[in-house]
Amino acid sequence: MISPSASIVRKVYENFAKGDIPLVIEAFAPSITWHVPGQSPIAGDYRDRDEIVGFFKHTLALCGGIFAIEVHHVLSEENVVVALVTVKAERNGRSAGFEEVHVWRVSDGKLTAFREFQGDEQTEDRFWS
């Protein structure tokens, strides 16, 4: 049986894949925190829904809108959900796929924190820079 927290996270990825960003944002708590590691133009800490929407727009602008997340596994225990994913994007004529681990925190049915762990941070930094 899929936990309620895992269901929320799966639905967010599904809505993102459909391009339904308003539904994605609706799943976020107003004070959600978001962390992307590294030194690239998209790396950093984002602290609420508006900053995260800005992050999404900046990321999509850098890759001309060619961006997808392939979800392999979603694991959960209590209020923590871990997604094993491949992020796929194109930039400046180059295609790339990055293995990542996404860690989500859930409280009262809303996503309160996101933290990305990259399999190869230096390669991702070079791709986005």
pLDDT digits (tens, 9 = 90+) for 10-49: 999 999 999 999 999 999 999 999 999 999 999 999 999 9
Query: What pLDDT, on a 0 to 100 scale, did the predictor assign at position 41?
Result: 95
Helices (H), 20-70: 21-26, 49-62
**pTM of the full structure:** 0.95
Is a pLDDT exceeding 90 seen at residue 65?
no
- pLDDT at 118 (0 to 100): 97
Percentage of the chain lying above the pLDDT 90 cut: 95
Question: In sequence order, what E strands does the chain have?
Answer: 28-36, 44-46, 67-77, 80-91, 94-107, 110-118
- 78 CB neighbour count, 10 Å cutoff: 9
The reported pLDDT for the residue numbered 1 is 74
Whether 38 contacts 126, CB under 8 Å: no
Structure tokens at 89: 């994007």
Task: Determine the average pLDDT of the residues in 93-118.
Answer: 97
